[in-house]
Structure 1
Amino acid sequence: MATFRQRSGTWQARVRVKGFPVETKSFDSKAAAQRWAREIESSMDNGGHQHSSKGAEILLREVLQRYMEEVTPTKRGAKREAEGIAFMQRNKVASYSMAKLSPAVVATYRDHRLKTVGAGTIIRELCILSSVISHARREWSLPISNPCELVRKPATPLGRSRLLSVDEEVKLLDELKPRGRRSPWMVPLVMLALETAMRRGELLGLRWEHIDLEKQTAFLPLTKNGTVRTVPLSKRAVAILADLPRCVDGRVFQLTDMGMEAAFRKGCARAEIVNLHFHDLRHTATSRLAEKLPNVIELAAVTGHQTIQMLKRYYHPKAEALAKKLD
């Protein structure tokens, strides 16, 4: 049974049901208090209720830490998610208890972050936070609601459409040539990226036992989507691979992710190429392949996109090229 009383300008709801501890909570209006009481009574009737004090004692920082240790390592994007969680743990929002983590608190976090980062970053962080809270509810039995479900996310930004021009390609490859302490692996890596449209992780994870130069294929045992894929190789891609030395550890490219990123960034700076990310090479390669493979199903089979909608984000045809096809 629920009772309500007004105290110091707020309404306090108290729910007493035999077999359950007493639940109390204060609200700004009686209607909100009544709504909460009905939800508590309903959860008690359904057998799924847990005392809210359990959630009041646990900080978001603790839940984030447990999730990062137990759940994040099982994911393909573990490194990126761990970085996002680590940032949230350093933020003020992590000091809130799970019971006090309201939509208003999450919205304040969103607005504060929007002052320094783009909408895409905020969307990813809110998705991570929502996943953490949903997992805590399902798997760890925390009696909490998910405030992220009530928080408006920023509008999804338009995908990047930066392509590497032919002139820029010549300059970049020239600046990546092994001179002094520069890596000898960067030129073939960039060339293969432009020829195959493979992702950075797929390229750096290539192993010689998965490459068949005679059949012109490269087998990827695990991709970003969590599926296997066999990439068809052009004759130029085969020639690039054939010229590479074989290393005893079986890896095709002797580069770390951070080392490759630093070398690519420095190469772009020397070539005076601005606003170019390594992932833009995948956009460039996809647009070039589309000229050879007008069938979108065949194109998706090469690039590894699972939906046509995703493929459209990477295919950036030039208007003048399309105009010529209309003749």
Structure 2
Amino acid sequence: MASIIKRSSRGTTKYEAAIRRRGGVSVSKTFSSRREALAWAATIESEIARGVFVDRTSAERNTFGDLLERYQREISPYKKGGSLEILRIQRLLTDPLARIKVATLTGAHIAQYRDRRLAGDMKRKAVSGSTVNRELTLISHVLTIASKEWGVHVHVNPVSQIRRPRENRARTRRLGDDEEKRLLVELEPNREDVARGYGPGGCRGCRNEYMRPIVILAIETAMRRGEILSLRWDDVHLEDRYVRLHDTKNGEARDVPLSSRALQTLAELSAKHRHIGGRVFPVSVEALKQSFVRACERADIADLRFHDLRHEATSRIAERLDNPLELSAVTGHKTVQMLKRYYHPRASDLARKLG
């Protein structure tokens, strides 16, 4: 039998229902009336007797924000792209979704979150369907880990109950005729900025001397942002004209050949100074993103993302390496289908080949 304990404090009376059974089942809950306490106790005892009892204490006690904070401490740091995921979690922690108890979290709450992100508001701009889908995938995985490994009861993952927004169309953005030149001009050292104390690079407005060589390397090698930022001098082989990537997106190491321009860029950077930690580009993902956005704004270049440089590089390299196997060896794509998503030949270039 359950025990009902009456507790009074400062003129308020509460009733605690407690159930303790042999075999480790020990649960309790407090109610404002004795009738509610008895009804809850009867339900729990029936579930125990039928062998279907599930402890909901953790789900009732923890908010979704509590799960997010634990996930970013215990899971995200060990994932590829973990730093970006932590930024995504920090944004989620400011959303009303984070304040909802896990036990009461439903598909309707997730749908409201989806719609808020797609519509935007006064504080945050609207985001694309692809961005929302990545966030929904993260929310779903947090709840799955909590249910399987942390003992938090999630009867049905609410993300599985809603409609996902439509994915964006694949991007085909390439650099225009003079966009590369304008962008690199805005990343050149500026004496006036150096004089104002912006550091040895004196990068116009971005204060980051590594941005120009990073952009050149991206255009020349088709390396991903994370691959460029994780590059270490021990893996740069200037004499043999290649760099070795140990930690790539597909999990396999890759040797990336260096064009003459890429080789010169790394050689010049090596001759200046090397970071004490051994990284070629000691720059954070967020710093790179902000610097690139500002440089595009100053160069009056619209709708260009850093990842578009990988599309540009793949398309340029394809003009020199017409063998798909050789091309995929450079870019790291494992299938021809994925490679095709990054190859965007200009119609004018194809017309010239046709004669």
Fold in common (TM above 0.5)? yes
Pairing partner for 2:337 from 297, 304, 309:
309
Pairing partner for 1:292 from 320, 325, 328:
320
Task: Tell me if the contact between 1:76 and 1:226 (Cα under 8 Å) persists in the aligned partners.
Answer: no
Is 1:101 matched with 2:126?
Answer: no
Q: Which runs of 5+ in 2 are unaligned?
A: 1-22, 28-42, 121-126, 192-201
Residue type matched to 1:162 in 2? R
**Counterparts of 1:171 and 1:141 in 2: how far apart (Å)?**
55
Identical pairs, percent: 44
CA RMSD of aligned residues (A): 2.9
Task: Tell me if the contact between 1:49 and 1:143 (Cα under 8 Å) persists in the aligned partners.
Answer: no
SS at match of 1:114: helix
- Give the equivalent residue in structure 1 for 2:70: 66
SS at match of 1:62: helix
**Counterparts of 1:306 and 1:213 in 2: how far apart (Å)?**
26
Task: Tell me if the contact between 1:300 and 1:311 (Cα under 8 Å) persists in the aligned partners.
Answer: yes
What's the CA shift for 1:237? 2.0
What's the CA shift for 1:49? 5.3
Is 1:139 matched with 2:149?
Answer: yes
Is 1:50 matched with 2:75?
Answer: no
Q: Which runs of 5+ in 1 are unaligned?
A: 1-18, 23-36
- Give the equivalent residue in structure 1 for 2:241: 216
> In the TM superposition, what whole-angstrom CA distance separates every residue of 1:41-91 from its partner, at most 9, and x where no partner exists?
8x998x785234542332212112211111111111112211222222222
Pairing partner for 1:247 from 271, 274, 277:
274
Residue type matched to 2:186 in 1? E
- Give the equivalent residue in structure 2 for 1:87: 91
> In the TM superposition, what whole-angstrom CA distance separates every residue of 1:185-204 from its partner, at most 9, and x where no partner exists?
33332222111011222223
Is 1:114 matched with 2:113?
Answer: no
**Counterparts of 2:303 and 2:215 in 1: how far apart (Å)?**
16
- Give the equivalent residue in structure 1 for 2:138: 128
SS at match of 1:314: coil
Task: Tell me if the contact between 1:161 and 1:314 (Cα under 8 Å) persists in the aligned partners.
Answer: yes
Distance 1:88 1:294, change over 3 A: same
Pairing partner for 1:204 from 218, 225, 229:
229
**Counterparts of 2:343 and 2:187 in 1: how far apart (Å)?**
26
- Give the equivalent residue in structure 2 for 1:12: none
**Counterparts of 2:130 and 2:241 in 1: how far apart (Å)?**
37
Distance 1:57 1:44, change over 3 A: farther
What's the CA shift for 1:221? 1.8
**Counterparts of 2:343 and 2:183 in 1: how far apart (Å)?**
22
**Structure of greater relative contact order (alpha carbons < 8 Å, 6+ residues apart):** 1
**Counterparts of 2:287 and 2:101 in 1: how far apart (Å)?**
39
Pairing partner for 1:263 from 282, 291, 294:
291
Q: How many matched pairs?
A: 292
What's the CA shift for 1:139? 0.8
Pairing partner for 2:188 from 177, 188, 203:
177
Q: Give the TM-score, by structure 1 length.
A: 0.79
- Give the equivalent residue in structure 2 for 1:277: 305
**Counterparts of 1:252 and 1:143 in 2: how far apart (Å)?**
46
